[in-house]
Structure 1
């Protein structure tokens, strides 16, 4: 007979899984409740970019630490440290690039600026129409499609209970226990962590908590295989492009261009009105892409709140109720902020501060 869990974690993405692993390592017995399958949400369908150049300044220490954790995972997640170049094509973009990167350099990111001669030496197939560029040797990417397999393996090795295709229908709190009613029966534990990404608003609403969570519908595309065109991760000063070529020759193109849909209605849909300019920007940066066919485009939901900082901490008015999510750049930051969340749940001092979810709540109630 399995031991009753010390904490129920709703959500089997990076944040739910990494927090569970940290808690188990430190003596707790977590159980994960996942509505679909492990790593099937944003954690598994994003572009896998691990670039310090596209992280917000205040989140840079979290991104650097998260990047190191992905590097430690290595080949298990297809990690590659390639270096990354961010391009500007106009004087206005160049000014924006320098302003943003200087702040990130001050925050600890190892970024420097390149001349056109240096760019051509590193990436000869990039466009000649570059006005300015920044470079970070630490940038790279992982294979997001391996996320689910990676965490499922670690969870199994740690003997953590995982319930997939498990839909939470009701949450109540009584006798110091959180009771979850699901399509697979009842679960209870004295602690509850909600880490459901774009579904966080709906999950919190089961306890009458109104979180201002919105969902972006980010689009990613992949080309057919091609000879080596580019070795670095390529970005744009506006943040509207990420581009990298994988070992098999396919080129992965992203940049946060928006599709259509809402999490409550199922998978998102690609929007041709945003897909086309995304691909045009990629082709402008790397002209040989004009010769390649797009094999597939897809979307993934990314949660955010009005200030675009994470929700990470305890909810006032409830005993042992925790929230973790809404992290821009969550693929990079996820493993580390999850460790911090684990330390917080264990009532230990965290190495870096968390992000109080109560900043958006007028009041919390158990009623």
Structure 2
């Protein structure tokens, strides 16, 4: 397993439960990239319609995860609002929610008057919203260490700070690192934004673009945001966690590339993110932002994850780059583990086939 984020660790856990010997390799500390630095949203309403069934299936794992890991993971599922601030956004909200409802999401449309009555803490600038009881969130800083402990208890070996220098394919499969070569019968690439670079080592061009998403956290406060809030255009996520801090995100872009390994806040973009948050939740105005950060997110051409065998290979797999990967991670990792260990999966994965965009080098 190359990559120790949420996809890789859940895949490793699934393989270990199936009796397989597993080694997880990560270029840095496990759980230090996208899985660690996201805002912890477990929203269903903010997913592409095609991902709604997968998000609901992943929630089935999330709901039993604290017990499975034997640890508090800060999980809350008390519903969420997806808001629109213009009539055009309201039309978009209606169209998407109808598709999502047809795919199994429990969601209802709210007028501006409905919203004022049920969520007066949301600004009257919001002209419409949808509400779903199936939205929620978890705390990535709690999930990661608990998941790592569970993976290690299952017998998986984890190698932090172990960059991959070469992947040997063909009859003699192996991963070459600065610590030496690790021989394997099968290899899984679960390295998020770096997955394209690893696929290139075995002659596969796997298109992945890079987002550098920003998140901000406020000081602790009295109740200000009662439910997770997302936006019809996908440009805002808001929540208040157990210690009273409010988290503000939504895909506003920071500065950085994989080449220079920069992940820096763009203050121009941050101002827009915070202004929008204040416009939606007026109660945030009295709070101080205590920290902002940026993190990498890999993005496929259609914003659906890669999951399956790499084209041209019978024993090298990939699972990476889901929009909303923290939400989908438990399921995506489990499905990859099923595919590797049994050759089939409990849920359909054809739409995630890496071959839909990947090309094998001549």
TM-score, L = length of structure 1: 0.93
Q: Give a deviation string over 1:110-134, Cα, whole Å, max 9, x none.
A: 1111244442343222212221110
Superposition RMSD in Å: 1.5
SS in 2 for 1:296: strand
Of residues 155, 159, 163 in structure 2, which corresponds to 1:163? 159
Structure 1 residues 216-365: aligned runs within 5 Å: 216-354=211-349, 355-364=352-361
Alignment of 1:86 onto 2:82: yes
Of residues 44, 47, 50 in structure 1, which corresponds to 2:42? 50
**1:146 matched residue in structure 2:** 142
Alignment of 1:177 onto 2:169: no
Of residues 93, 112, 123 in structure 1, which corresponds to 2:119? 123
SS in 1 for 2:32: coil
Per-residue deviation, 1:80: 0.7
Contact 1:43 1:147 in 2 (8 A): no
**Structure 1 CA distance, aligned partners of 2:14 and 2:98?**
34
Per-residue deviation, 1:82: 2.1
**Structure 1 CA distance, aligned partners of 2:314 and 2:236?**
43
Alignment of 1:134 onto 2:125: no
Alignment of 1:36 onto 2:32: no
Contact 1:123 1:230 in 2 (8 A): no
**Structure 1 CA distance, aligned partners of 2:157 and 2:197?**
23
Structure 1 residues 298, 27: closer, same or farther in 2, change over 3 A? Answer: same
Per-residue deviation, 1:68: 2.1
Structure 1 residues 103-114: aligned runs within 5 Å: 103-114=99-110
**Structure 1 CA distance, aligned partners of 2:298 and 2:179?**
26
Per-residue deviation, 1:317: 2.1
Q: Which runs of 5+ in 1 are unaligned?
A: 1-8
TM-score, L = length of structure 2: 0.94
Contact 2:205 2:359 in 1 (8 A): no
**1:3 matched residue in structure 2:** none
Contact 1:11 1:194 in 2 (8 A): yes
**1:76 matched residue in structure 2:** 72
How many equivalent residue pairs? 356
